[in-house]
Structure 1
Amino acid sequence: MLPAYQGVISKIPTVANIPCPGLATITDVDNNSYNTVLIGTQCWTKENLKVTKYSDGVIIIPLNATGGSTGTSSTWQNLTTGSYTIYGNESSTGANATNYGFLYNWYAAKGITTTGSTTYKNLCPLSWHVPTDAEWTNLSTYLGGESVAGGKMESTSSLWNAINTAADNSSGFSALPGGFRDFDGSFYFIRSYAFFWSATENDINLNPWTRYLDSNNGNVYSSSSFFKSVGAAVRCLKD
């Protein structure tokens, strides 16, 4: 653990694209490399996760709506353990996987390999984790609040399908619009929205908390409307 990345978020100026001290890149269990960025006292990955195993090497079973790997769209919505897909059922070497990473159901984000288990594996590399709802809130608070934080988190890349005048990526978070996979297996909103899991459930409806960014404005939105069987992107945060 690195105490410098923990505790109360300091109100220091936001500087874009500053790697975490002594940790410019990290590598997952599949040997994929991710750049890091220091935002306030938090150390984040700058790219979406695209790993096929938990950090202990246990394989995550992929599931495509076409049955291209295992199962069908009907089994996707009935899953209660971790799985992942790629937008549009593309291969893991296709453009969508390269640009936007994989789409994981929440069970994978939480590290659930056995239905009902309260013992969780780690989807992120060792010493990293899927951020909690509170940690996402710390990020948006540091960046000035939900009404402006999204623009500071959004990449200015042309992969966004509309010019978003609010986007300046001043935080260096570099969010890209990978869309999501709905519980019924359908895919929506690539190039328009970026969706990210938290590891936290809403105490009332037990749906997970997510964050999403919209190409039409600079907001970051907090929502618990996604079912656990939805597929969304994952960013990792340093322990």
Structure 2
Amino acid sequence: MRQLKYIYTAAVFLFLFSCKNTEMVEDLDGNIYHTAKIGKQIWMVENLKVTRFNNGDSIRKFKSNSDWKHVNQAGYSFYNNDTVFIKDYGFLYNYNCLQDVRGIAPKGWRIPTEEDLRELESFVNSNSIGIFLKEKGNSHWLPSDAVGNNATGFTALPGGYRDDEGAFYMLRSNGYYWSTNGSFEFYNWSDRMFQAFADIRRDSVFKRYGFSIKCIKEE
């Protein structure tokens, strides 16, 4: 057991050496995002909370459940329609935002692909990848045995999601992030990262779900 603890501690120090904060990036609304270099990738630390596309057009904010459910348009909301959650968790965007040609990621940044996620997993190279990607401690996460150390600086947070009917779920328990064709998730009780919740190619209903966005820098 002592040897395993030593190996785990050594791995954490290796990450702290390999993963460092780099530049900061600003969106059109003036929000500032820190970044983390993880292997050859650079990720945004904070969740996206921009209200405009890159051409300056406003992204529609859907507050009512009816609009969220029926309007086939790019849009966003925030958990429980309560602004108190924006600072920590950012916005929840529907899939139309990702597909809009006007672009939602800041210039030079993009939505992560499945290939990006595989590269991230390969760099961390651990069955407990979630531990290294989750925010350190339980400031936002519900208590569990799978407490993050955030050695990578990725800072995954449990911002929950909005479903196709407009209801909000899982704040402080689960964190759901968009990829180009689906989502990747973190659960408070698990030390893993999952890619099985929302597969747009399999079920188009997920296009109306609202997930967080964490952008990756273009190479």
Relative to the length of structure 1, the TM-score reads 0.78
The aligned counterpart of 1:37 is: 36
The aligned counterpart of 1:15 is: 16
Structure 1 residue runs of 4 or more that deviate by more than 4 Å after TM superposition: none
**Structure with greater helix percent:** 2
The aligned counterpart of 1:175 is: 156
SS of 2:76's partner is strand
Matches within 5 A, 1:52-131: 52-65=51-64, 73-91=65-83, 94=84, 96-110=85-99, 112=100, 120-131=101-112
| 1:189 maps onto 2:170 in alignment | yes
More divergent stretch after superposition (152-161 vs 174-183): 152-161
The aligned counterpart of 1:10 is: none
Q: Percent identity among equivalent residues?
A: 29
The aligned counterpart of 1:206 is: none
SS of 1:135's partner is helix
- Residue 27 (structure 1) shift: 0.2
Instruction: Write the deviation string for residues 154-209 of structure 1: whole angstroms up to 9, x where unpaired.
Output: 00241112144442111110111000001100000000011000112xxxxxxxx1
| 1:229 maps onto 2:208 in alignment | yes
Checking the alignment, whether the CA contact within 8 Å between 2:178 and 2:213 is kept in structure 1 is: yes
Please tell me the residue identity of whatever aligns with 1:88. N
**RMSD (CA atoms):** 1.6
Structure 1 pair 164–122 and aligned structure 2 pair: CA distance change class (3 A): farther
Gaps of 5+ in 2: 1-13, 200-204
Gaps of 5+ in 1: 1-12, 66-72, 113-119, 201-208
Which of 163, 172, 180 is equivalent to 1:199? 180
SS of 1:97's partner is helix
- Work out the CA distance in 1 between the residues paired with 2:120 and 2:184: 11
The aligned counterpart of 2:183 is: 210
Checking the alignment, whether the CA contact within 8 Å between 1:162 and 1:192 is kept in structure 2 is: no
Checking the alignment, whether the CA contact within 8 Å between 2:61 and 2:76 is kept in structure 1 is: yes
- Work out the CA distance in 2 between the residues paired with 1:213 and 1:165: 11
Checking the alignment, whether the CA contact within 8 Å between 1:86 and 1:101 is kept in structure 2 is: yes
- Work out the CA distance in 2 between the residues paired with 1:89 and 1:166: 28
Checking the alignment, whether the CA contact within 8 Å between 1:109 and 1:234 is kept in structure 2 is: no
- Work out the CA distance in 2 between the residues paired with 1:126 and 1:164: 39
Relative to the length of structure 2, the TM-score reads 0.85
Q: How many residues align?
A: 197
